[in-house]
Amino acid sequence: MNYLAPSILSADFAALGEAVTLVEAAGAPFIHVDVMDGHFVPNITIGAPVAKSLRKHIKGVMDVHLMIENPDQYLQDFKDAGADIVTVHYEASRHIHRTLQTIRSLGMKSGLSLNPGTPVEVIECLLDEIDMVLIMSVNPGFGGQSFIPYALEKVKTVKELAKKHNKELLIQVDGGVGLHNVKEVVEAGANVVVAGSAVFGAEDVTKAVQEFIALMNE
């Protein structure tokens, strides 16, 4: 089974509850929440209070992608907000092993995200602490960017590592994924696909979600 995670980054921020309800009704099992602080990435979005309000509308998995400096400082807040998965960036934590351990100790699934410029090999010594690897296929900060093809090579490497070390590992790809390339992304080994602009920018959001899910599980 492969999972679609619509990113609310491209939804109307004044109507996030409705956005979540719409994509869940269409069959999306994860809701991807992009948290940006204006320091780690050059954009600011939302924080734990908004995630907490949103939680009341989410029936499935709340998948929080932290693009922030000092993630350790906010892990408890996202636990309190009801996050199921919290993903932190390798590049944002000085003691990433400890950060991942803390996420799990709070009772959430731990995700590790790699920027396009970070070699995939860094995950090897962290695999015991990770429930999900997020391969960024754009430089984080904005929706609607173009997919960086080399991400597929990184996904293939993660898939090989997962076969050896953790068959349950979730492998997520985020950035520039649309109906035109989602099959390629899944074939490379991704089992969780984030899509923001291709879902919320579509003329018919319900149809877009359904088409994604059909292509991902053919």
Binding-site residues for a divalent metal cation sit at 32, 34, 65, 174
Residue 105 or 205: the one with the smaller Cβ distance to Co ion is 205
Residue 138 contacts which entry, ligand 5RP, Co ion, none (Cβ below 5-8 A, type-dependent): ligand 5RP
How do the residues of the chain divide into helix, strand and coil, expressed in percent and rounded to 5? 45, 20, 35
Do the bridges between strand 192-195 and strand 61-67 make them parallel or antiparallel, or are there none, so unpaired?
unpaired
Q: Is 34 a catalytic residue?
A: yes
Binding site, by residue number, is: 7, 32, 34, 65, 141-144, 174-176, 196-197
Q: Strand locations in the chain, DSSP E?
A: 3-6, 30-36, 61-67, 85-89, 109-114, 132-136, 170-174, 192-195
Distance of closest approach, residue 163 Cβ to ligand 5RP, in angstroms: 26
Binding site for ligand 5RP (CB under 6 A): 7, 9-10, 32, 34, 65, 67, 138, 140-145, 174-177, 194-198
What torsion, rounded to 10 degrees, do the Cα atoms 73, 74, 75, 78 define?
170
Binding flag, residue 89, Co ion (CB under 5 A)? no
The nearer residue to ligand 5RP, 166 or 210, going by C-beta atoms, is 210
List 2, 4, 45, 65, residue binding Co ion (CB under 5 A):
65
Q: Which bin fits 181, alpha (ψ -120 to 50), beta or left (φ > 0)? A: alpha
| Cα four-point dihedral sign 71, 74, 78, 80 | positive
Site for Co ion in 14-53 (CB under 5 A): 34
Return the active site residues: 34, 174
